[in-house]
Structure 1
Amino acid sequence: MVFIILTLLIFGCPIPAVVAAFKVDERTLADWIDKAGEHAQRVQKHLVCQGNLELGQVQADELWCRSRRGVLWRATAMSVSARLLIWGKVASGRPEALMDAVVLQVHRATRLQSPILWATDGFSTWKGCILHHFRSAVLTGRRGRPALVQWAELHIVQVIKRTYGERIERRLAWGDLFEALHLIETTQDKPGTINTAFVERLNATLRTWLPALIRRSRHAGSDQERLERHFFLVLVAYNFIRPHRSLRRRVDGRWIG
């Protein structure tokens, strides 16, 4: 029964519906979510954040949701080519530590000095955190602490949406534009331009799986810690359980993958 209930909670069934159908106390469900979420976070860190992935293009975004104790923000980052949700973090407000925690885990998952393109919105904190973590020491043989230099194959692009004038601005914030466009072409299904469409589509999927992320919801998250554990439960299911049709490829007239 625990497996069935957790499956329903992962795929967006509201807690009151589970309580009514299975006659389980809400506190019991909360305890199951906490334990399963903590285990899911350890699984994600063990399988993904081990420094051996060539991520190619990473898209990152943040969104807000309501909780019983105010507004919470959630930041996430995903690999476009693999549709892999790398990490997420929940916090009250939109502090630098929120983005920094996500960028840190992406850095731990990335193979050293491998080409990587970050696509974010216009929130400047993303760029600062990326430049802080994606750098390596340059050894010169001199005494003292070696200088830290950003990776040669690091590129950052931004998609800025406005409500006036030219509605969408796409710009290079760091790196080489030609190499950035090349990474976009090789990591997406079709040649395209600078975008954050994949992480925005991911946000829409997560909203259907986690009712607390819906802004106009009657099932607001109870608190930051429990929402984050529930999020990691959904994250692991998204990465390792749910089949991704967009990863299928057509070879010799047949769909594979």
Structure 2
Amino acid sequence: MKEDLDVVVLILTLLTFGCPLPAIVMAFKIDERTIGDWLDKAGEHAQRVQDHLVCQGQLDLGQVQGDELWCRSQRGVLWLATAISVASRLLIWGNVASGRTEAMITDVVQHVHRAARLQSPILWATDGFATWKGTILRIFRSAVQSGRRGRPRLVEWAELHIVQVVKRTYGERTLRRLAFGDLFEALHVIEETQGKRGTVNTAVVERLNATLRTWLPDLTRCSRHAESDAQRLERRFFLTAVAYNFVRPHRSLRVLVDGRWTERTPGMAAGLTDRPWTIEELLRFRVPPLQTVA
């Protein structure tokens, strides 16, 4: 039974980092449906781990970049919206939908709001998709008590800023603009998270999209292994997301410790863990049950 568990962990590790499913089937002589069932269960568990560790608040996110990417499925085009903290490279959340919908963006923004420390400075950098701005302004609000009866007035966070990067076609230059907030403060957040040479851009989340397409064959635009539905793709995305955050160190996050360069995971950079995990540790992580109010 122990050997069987080792095989499951090995197969899930290979799949998490982009090994094609047909190669796994041929190498281990295991039915594709069985492996798919393992992936679904591991993905559901990873989603709970992500929600528990990342989206419980008290994180100074600084600059957050949001974007969407699309892929083909057996039932049409699917969209994946993601948000990432630039300073720590922490992938905060993602949502898969059958269209580029407001509900998809809302789910991502709500989880970022849960992860962020209340009223902490935060800069959102997105593309020109207008739904991002409207959703952020609707969710990143706090109640202002006036002493009067009735529902308190909701106002946007004082340290909330939104910038947009609109890419033009036909040789026109990229348009960078402030959509909400203070330009000076927004540039200050960019300098803190990207350095003095930082500019208004969505380069970090676009680099994340490239990594996801590498690790998740289902996201490849011309894939021969198109996923069957949005729910299954979302489960596998979260397995990849947690591995991205807690398992694989990033060279861009390395720090000098005692004269030696030490590579860190985004989870380490965000202060959520003190060492890289293994896939087995991820699968064995126990998520506390939700507490219900009597």
Whole-Å Cα distance in 2 between the matches of residues 97 and 23 of structure 1? 40
Moved more, 243-252 or 114-123: 243-252
Whole-Å Cα distance in 1 between the matches of residues 259 and 180 of structure 2? 40
| 1:235 maps to which of 235, 241, 244 | 241
Shift, 1:222, TM fit: 1.8
1:121 aligns with 2:127: yes
Whole-Å Cα distance in 1 between the matches of residues 221 and 209 of structure 2? 12
1:44 aligns with 2:50: yes
| 1:173 maps to which of 175, 179, 183 | 179
TM-score of the aligned structures, taking structure 2 as reference length: 0.85
Alignment coverage as a number of residue pairs: 257
Superposed, 1:1-257 pairs within 5 Å as 1-164=7-170, 166-250=172-256, 254-257=260-263
User: Aligned partner of 2:145: which letter?
Assistant: L
Shift, 1:252, TM fit: 8.8
Name stretches of at least 5 consecutive residues in structure 1 with no aligned partner: none
Shift, 1:249, TM fit: 3.3
CA contact (8 A) 1:184 1:191 kept: no
Whole-Å Cα distance in 2 between the matches of residues 246 and 213 of structure 1? 24
CA contact (8 A) 1:158 1:171 kept: yes
Whole-Å Cα distance in 2 between the matches of residues 132 and 166 of structure 1? 32
**Relative to 1, partners in 2 of residues 1:71 and 1:112: Cα closer, same or farther, differing over 3 Å?**
same
Give secondary structure in 2 for the equivalent of 1:246.
Answer: strand
Give secondary structure in 2 for the equivalent of 1:206.
Answer: helix
Give secondary structure in 2 for the equivalent of 1:247.
Answer: strand
Segments of 4+ in structure 1 off by > 2 A?
A: 164-167, 249-257
RMSD between aligned residues = 1.3
User: Aligned partner of 1:31: which letter?
Assistant: D
CA contact (8 A) 1:90 1:227 kept: yes
User: Aligned partner of 2:205: which letter?
Assistant: V
Give secondary structure in 1 for the equivalent of 2:221.
Answer: coil
Whole-Å Cα distance in 1 between the matches of residues 162 and 254 of structure 2? 28
Shift, 1:254, TM fit: 4.9
Name stretches of at least 5 consecutive residues in structure 2 with no aligned partner: 1-6, 264-294
> Percent identity over the alignment?
76
TM-score of the aligned structures, taking structure 1 as reference length: 0.97
Deviation digits for residues 116-144 of structure 1, max 9, x if unmatched?
A: 00000000000011001100000010111
Whole-Å Cα distance in 1 between the matches of residues 181 and 21 of structure 2? 46
Whole-Å Cα distance in 1 between the matches of residues 155 and 23 of structure 2? 53
User: Aligned partner of 1:51: which letter?
Assistant: G
